[in-house]
Amino acid sequence: MSTALLEVDGASKRFKLYDRARDRVADWLHLARPPRYREFWALRDVSFQVQPGESVGVVGPNGAGKSTLLKLISGVLPLTSGKVHLRGQVLSLLELGTGFNPALSGRENVAQSAALLGYDRSFAARHAETIRDFAELGSFFERPVREYSSGMFVRLAFSLFSVMQPELFVVDEALAVGDLRFAAKAVARIREMAAQGTTLLFVSHDLHLVTQLCTRALWLHGGSLQMDGPAADVTRAYRQFTVTGASRPRAVSGAAAAPESGSEAPPPRLCLGGGWYPLEAYAGEVFRWGRAGAEVVVMDALSTPRVVELDIEPGPRLPGPPVRLHATSGGGVVLAELPLDARGTCPVMVPAGPAGQRVQVRASILPSIAPGDHRQLNLRLLGAGWAGAGPPTPTASLPLIQDPEGDQDLAHATRMMHAALQGCPPAPGAPARITNVRLLNALGAPATAFRPYDGLVAEVVISADRDVQDLVTGVQVRDLFDRRVWAGRSDWQGRQPLALKAGERATVSFRTDRLILGDGWYQITARWHLYPHEMEPLQWVDGAWTFEVLPSEHPTFLGLADLGWHYEAHVWEQPATEADD
Amino acid sequence: MLWNIGMPLALLVVYVVVFSAVLVPSISPDVLEPGTFPLYLSVGFLPWTAFADTLLRGTQALVGNAAYLRRLPLPERVFLGQSAVASTIGMLVVLVLLWLLSLVWGRFPTLAWLAMPVVAFLWQAFAYGLTLALGALNVFFRDLTQLVTILVQIWMWSVPVVYVEQLLPDTLRSVLPFNPVYPFLTSLRMVYLQGTFPPVELWLAMAAWVALAVLVGELVLHLVQPEIRDAL
């Protein structure tokens, strides 16, 4: 038996849409054949598990099925098929406040809601003062709820929520409770609960908040699970999707556009997991050969074997012994072995099996690649129904780069950069693309480590495929929680956007003479857009360069940034008489 | 609570005044004891208002609580049951009123009166059974509330609630026993006016109607239940 707190196994929810009310009656009585409803699958075959103590974010566009999923979990909606198994009680922030009776006071409502949720009388009595103080209601706590402002109402609901101790907390969307200050307090409280081991399911459009609160995230899309992985990876992939529409899953167009009629079986879906690189960057470890890998997740149950095709990008023949790639299934079964010096493609059979099969691909031995020889191993997914017309086929790539003589950190950062660029292509039809991002130190050499107050240049190379006007480049420094520490743009400080001709390249540099960041790990995000459409970036590359600010040997400050403070102490004598004031 | 009984009481007064002038003079004394028409009317009309209230409340029980049903994993029966309990309290108030009224007329309770709460409770159970189906169907067909309002009015006049049974032509009187509320009404009157215990046939009829209503209600609810929350 597994120890999961929440097991969602193939959960599906179908809504029946009727044009006429009498059709519904006909279906109840089984008079019509075939049934007269049109189907709308709000959720289709979603499976995942949540372990006790995990905090899991759920992201996805409107209509992706997030609310439906929560309702299935809390038992409000019945499942059409599949299973939801929850060990313990679930409490959703969404539910709270709906039970408030406007005629009753805050205190009475607390007691009533607690009773409604199955807590005994003493629970409300014990926590009433805590709730009142957290909600900052003061004497209003004794007034009828109908006299409350909407902010006070939500504050009361959240405060009640925060003292309850169910096994699973569901926080839906509206953490925009009350004013900004209270919202921050609510977030802090949730983080505290998560730290204390409360299991959390957090649904939000605020990707930044998801990465802050959650270790893991689910990306729902068109009713199916598009990605399940570390929160930073998932939010990055999702943001990438919203920017470029890239790696758009097949299921999206089907479910979002129009409910399909009939029960035509959809082709199975695949998902490419992001591999290991971002995690390693977070841990500050050095990326080595033999650990490179990517993962293909087969999102649907397969009734017949299918083919995943591995496609090597053409390049110079590799010297030395042939390198092999292993493609293995989750059970460790080798599905294919591919000599790396072969050019072209290699099919890997995925056996028939349940949804969620994983195919891992990794390099088996160390290849000898000349320094500076950058090469991608591209994975393309093929097979009947997978590479059909329309949506792009999902791809992922393994960077094959090695520079054993060079700076391992630098080589790693470079590999990461190429992987990031590959993973974050420009929007379809965009006239230019970012081809290189790096950080240079004060000497003009690429670097991954700096000391406070060092000089630093962030360099973005943009290559124009067609003539382009009004090109504006932006660079951001983000910390490991994905917080934006700093952002700059090339059209600020009175500068004009760039114009490039087809085939031209531009190196855009952002320079600081004094890096005032505190020690820690940071990442560069590069983006560009066409003036004045700053809200529509045409390419957005997260994690383009990872760098470390080393601790200062003689620190003059601690924390995120040096705010340029000055220290003074003024010593004076006690006043002569106490009547002076 | 005062307002809940205010409306039926006002109507009761109107009926008493109007029908005492129009209807009562034509009734022979062996059908209705002279001067007791207000009691005859009360024991029919007041429980009827409670019954009608149960039906209407129950019909709206799920739609009216959509806010909860959409968010809380509570079973539908909670809301149907809640509305039935609320209207049953109304029925109990009616019984107390009837008792007070009879004291005014100088009549004192007999042992047979013990049957009244039982009959009232059975009547409510019958209504609850109907609301299981009505409440559930109302989720899908929102006009049902209006329809029920009209049907309840027609239903009231199809049985001798405000008028005297013996005034009906024989053909209509012969089908009266097939009206589901007839046994409840007649049993209450029998106890209240004549102080006699209802005969076994009436008990059987009441039990049969309750069983049928609950059975049909449960069946309908069971049939449509998977789609209720989808449609709310």
Q: Would you say residue B57 lies in a domain?
A: yes
CB-based contact A98 B72, cutoff 8 Å: yes
Query: How much is the CA Rg of chain A, to the nearest whole Å?
Result: 28
Q: Which amino acid is at A29?
A: L
Residue B136 forms part of a structural domain: yes
Measured CA angle at A386 (ends A381, A389), to 5 deg: 115
pLDDT, tens digit (0-9, with 9 covering 90-100), for B99-114: 888 888 888 878 888 8
Domain with B71, as residue range(s), is: 38-231
- The string of DSSP letters for B89-145 reads HHHHHHHHHHHHHHHHTT----GGGGHHHHHHHHHHHHHHHHHHHHHHHHHH-TTHH
Kindly identify which residue of chain B lies nearest to residue A70, measuring between CA atoms.
B71
- Inform me whether the pLDDT recorded for A4 exceeds 70: yes
Q: What is the pLDDT of residue A337?
A: 58
Q: Is residue B120 part of a domain?
A: yes
| Contact between A16 and B230 using a beta-carbon 8 Å cutoff | yes
Is residue B28 in a domain?
no
At residue A239, the pLDDT reads: 77
* pLDDT of amino acid A275: 29
Q: Which residues of B touch A78 (CB under 8 A)?
A: 226, 229
Q: Do A74 and B223 touch (CB under 8 A)?
A: no
Interface residues of chain A, partner chain B, Cβ below 8 Å: 15-16, 21, 24, 28, 74-78, 92, 94-95, 98-99, 116
Q: From residue A468, how far is each of A326, A431, A500, A576 by CA, in Å?
A: 43, 6, 5, 75
Q: Note the pLDDT tens digit of each residue in A466-476.
A: 999 999 999 99
User: Angle at CA B140, nearest 5°, toward B137 and B141?
Assistant: 80
Whether A202 and A171 have beta carbons less than 8 Å apart is answered as yes
Q: How does DSSP assign A79-93, residue by residue? A: -SEEEEEESS-EEET
* CA neighbor of A311 nearest in space, from A384, A376, A378: A378
On the question of pLDDT at A196 being above 90, the answer is: no
pLDDT in tens, A138-150: 888 898 888 888 7
Q: Give the model's confidence band at A18: pLDDT under 50 very low, under 70 low, under 90 confident, else very high.
A: confident
pLDDT tops 50 at residue A574: yes
- Give the pLDDT of residue A354: 67
Pairwise CA distance, residues A521 & A518, whole Å:
9
- The mean pLDDT of B173-188, rounded to a whole number, is 91
Per-residue confidence (pLDDT) for residue A361, from 0 to 100: 63
pLDDT at position A408 is 60
Give the model's pLDDT for residue A561: 86
> Which range has the worst mean pLDDT, A77-91, A388-402, A417-431?
A388-402
Cross-chain Cβ contact A95/B72 below 8 Å: yes
Residue A93, min C-alpha distance to chain B (Å): 10
Of A16, A75, A92, the CB nearest to B227: A16
Name the residue in chain A with its Cα closest to that of B66. A98
CB contact (8 A) between residue A76 and residue B69? yes
Q: Closest Cα of chain B to A10: distance in Å?
A: 19
A/B interface, count of CB pairs below 8 Å: 32
For residues A428, A430, A435 and A438, what is the CA-based torsion angle, rounded to 10 degrees? -100
8 Å CB contact between A216 and A229: yes
Note the pLDDT tens digit of each residue in B17-59. 887 777 666 677 776 777 778 888 888 888 999 899 999 999 9
Which residue in A253, A241, A294 sits closest to A425, CA to CA? A241
Closest-CA residue to B150 (of B225, B59, B66, B219):
B59
Among chain A residues, the shortest Cα distance to B76 is held by A76
CATH superfamily, with its number, for domain A6-226: P-loop containing nucleotide triphosphate hydrolases (3.40.50.300)
Distance CA A506, CA A440 (A): 16
Share the mean pLDDT of chain A.
73
- Number of other residues whose CB lies within 10 A of the CB of residue A152: 21
Residue B170 confidence class, pLDDT cut points 50, 70, 90: confident
B70 and A76 within 8 Å at the Cβ level: the answer is yes
Token readout for A345 is 């493609």
Domain presence at residue B16: no
The answer to whether residue B165 is domain-embedded is: yes
What are the distances in angstroms from CA A452 to CA A96, A281, A437, A519? 47, 20, 21, 7
Indicate whether A365 pLDDT > 80: no
What is the rounded CA–CA span in Å between residue A471 and residue A531? 6
Q: Kindly determine whether residue B73 and residue A92, on different chains, have CB atoms separated by under 8 Å.
A: no
Domain residue ranges of chain A, discontinuous segments joined by +: 6-226, 267-422, 426-581
Q: Which amino acid is at A373?
A: D
Distances (CA, A) of B55 to A392, B12, B88, B124, B228: 57, 20, 11, 9, 19
The 3-state DSSP class for residue A96 equals: coil
Angle at A562 between CA A559 and CA A568, to 5 degrees: 105
Q: What is the chain A residue with the closest CA to B141? A: A21
As for the ipTM of the complex, it is 0.72
Residue B200 neighbours by CB under 8 Å, 6+ apart: none
Rounded to whole angstroms, how far apart are CA atoms B220 and B136? 8
Mean pLDDT of all residues in A547-560: 80
The fold of A426-581 is Coagulation Factor XIII; Chain A, domain 1 (2.70.50)
Domain count, chain B: 1
Local structure of residue A447 (DSSP, 8 states)? -
CB B168 within 8 A of CB B159: no
Asked whether the beta carbons of residue A76 and residue B140 sit closer than 8 angstroms, the reply is no
What class does CATH assign to A267-422? mainly beta
Chain B hits for A76, CB-CB cut-off 8 Å, are 69-73, 229
pLDDT in tens, A449-471: 888 888 899 999 999 999 999 99
Q: Is residue B17 part of a domain?
A: no
